[in-house]
Amino acid sequence: MLYRLRNDFHLSVITLMNACAIVGITPFAVWRFLRGEYWIGLIDLGILGAIVGATLYAWRTHKTACTGLFLALVPCTGGAIAISLTAGEVGLFWLYPALICSFMLTRPLIAALLPLGALALLILEGSAFSSSQQIWSFSVTLLVVCACTYVFARRSEHQRNRLKHLALLDPLTGVSNRRALDEALARAVSEHERLGTEYGLVLADLDHFKRVNDTHGHHTGDRILVDFVGVLAFNTRRSDQLFRFGGEEFVILMSGTTPNGLQAAVEHVQSVLRKTLTSPSGPVTASFGTAILQRGESVDHWFERADEALYRAKSLGRDRIVSGDRSTSEALS
């Protein structure tokens, strides 16, 4: 539970809104009923019920985007309009928390349009305001708050997206990291099951890389890793995805490929590496393990087959390609 709250921004906002609604709206609803204002009390309970129900839905389904839009549209904006039309000018104050909540629940443009639409509707209906002066003063303050919140929300959204992007990148090589790999493999298995898309997995490991680091230092080792990534990226398709799994081990995820196509692609990469990748001690080679995703296969089993093929490539002398799809475990090139 705490893990999901820490790692899912929208779910944490929805949950926080739910807690605030229970603490903040429940006393108002009770107070309304005690005063005999039953219609307003029922509206309060309806808003509270919608928020609690939507929060439970988000926790069960993980669909936080549509839940946030529902909360911004129905209990926040719709509820604020209903309270304003029923309670009069006192209810107008509910538009401000509704506005702030909407910016945290959905996209900034939608969140900005909702209170503006609510304001236009209330002005046209007219009963919530006691004078034209109140209409102007309320409209100006709401517009100022809306504009400032919009700017802040856009800035926050940009920063969150950037942080999310950086969290999925390897800082040395600039390619995607292991966390991004886990997500990509899960998507690949899902697409294979739903659409029949063929996927190939390649594990690449530099040969005797520890010896390079020990002999020439980590600065040289880092340069070789960056050069290695450059060769892999330049000699694979744009649709292929490259990840750093850890240390000197990298993963290539290829879509729409066959066993023969996968073998040919890796042989081409290996050929280029033999000609271009060097250290002060001489050429640097790599070993490869490959596996085509099979029907009904899990991510773990698929990756394990490619990893075992890489291990066999290492044990058979390195600088070679071994396929995890063949009964004969060795494929030399």
Q: Is 216:281 a contact under the CB 8 Å cutoff?
A: yes
Structure tokens at 190: 């899902």
Give tens-digit pLDDT for 195-238.
Answer: 999 999 999 999 999 999 989 999 999 999 999 999 999 999 99
CB atoms within 10 A of CB 315: 11
SS3 for 181? Answer: helix
Strand partners, 287: 205
pLDDT digits (tens, 9 = 90+) for 32-51: 899 998 988 999 999 999 99
166: pLDDT strictly greater than 90: no
**pLDDT band at 243, cuts 50/70/90?**
very high
Question: Rounded distance, CA 80 to CA 279, Å?
Answer: 68
Q: Which residue, among 155, 152, 156, 182, has the nearest Cα to 167 in the 3D structure? A: 182
Q: What is the pLDDT of residue 321?
A: 95
pLDDT of residue 101: 87
Q: pLDDT at residue 3 above 80? A: no
Instruction: Please report the pLDDT score of residue 28 as a whole number.
Output: 87
How far is it, in rounded angstroms, from Cα 163 to Cα 89?
Answer: 42
Instruction: Give me the mean pLDDT over the 138-165 stretch.
Output: 88
**Integer Cα distance of 59 and 13 in angstroms:** 12
The pLDDT value recorded for residue 323 is: 94
25, 51, 131, 314 from 69: Cα distances, Å: 20, 12, 33, 52
Active-site residue flag, 248? yes
The contacts found for 276-279 with CB under 8 angstroms, 24 or more apart, are 276/227, 276/231, 277/224, 277/227, 277/228, 277/231, 279/212, 279/216, 279/220, 279/224
309-326 pLDDT per residue, tens? 999 999 999 999 999 986
3-state secondary structure of 235: coil
d(CA 243, CA 169): 9
Yes or no: say if 47 and 41 are a contact pair by the CB < 8 Å rule. Answer: no
For residue 327, pLDDT beyond 80: no
Q: Choose the catalytic residue: 248, 304, 308, 330.
A: 248
pLDDT higher than threshold 70 for residue 331: no
Domain edges within the chain? 2-167, 178-323
Q: Is the pLDDT of residue 329 over 60?
A: no
**Taking residues 177-202, what's their average pLDDT?**
93
CA atoms within 13 Å, Cβ hemisphere of 276: 17
Q: What's the mean pLDDT in 12-24?
A: 91
Distance between CA atoms of 265 and 242, rounded to whole angstroms? 14
Using DSSP's 3-state secondary structure scheme, residue 294 falls into coil
What pLDDT, on the 0 to 100 scale, is given for residue 326? 62
Do 273 and 296 contact (CB within 8 A), yes or no? no
pLDDT, residue 118, reads 92
Average pLDDT over the chain reads 90
pTM (predicted TM-score): 0.62
What is the model's pLDDT at position 328? 37
> Is the pLDDT assigned to residue 332 strictly greater than 80?
no
CATH code for residues 178-323: 3.30.70.270
Give dist(CA 45, CA 73) in Å, integer. 17
Q: Residue 97 pLDDT > 80, yes or no?
A: yes
Distance CA 261, CA 266 (A): 9
Over 70: is that where the pLDDT of 159 sits?
yes
pLDDT of residue 276: 93
pLDDT over 80 (residue 293): yes
Q: Is 266 exposed, middle or buried (0-12, 13-18, 19+ CB in 10 A)?
A: buried
**% the chain with pLDDT above 90:** 63
Q: Is the pLDDT of residue 89 over 90?
A: no
Contact 270, 288 (CB under 8 A): yes
Give the pLDDT of residue 330: 42
Mean pLDDT, range 157-162, rounded to an integer: 84
CA distances from 49 to 22, 24, 44, 100, 210 (A): 9, 13, 9, 20, 61
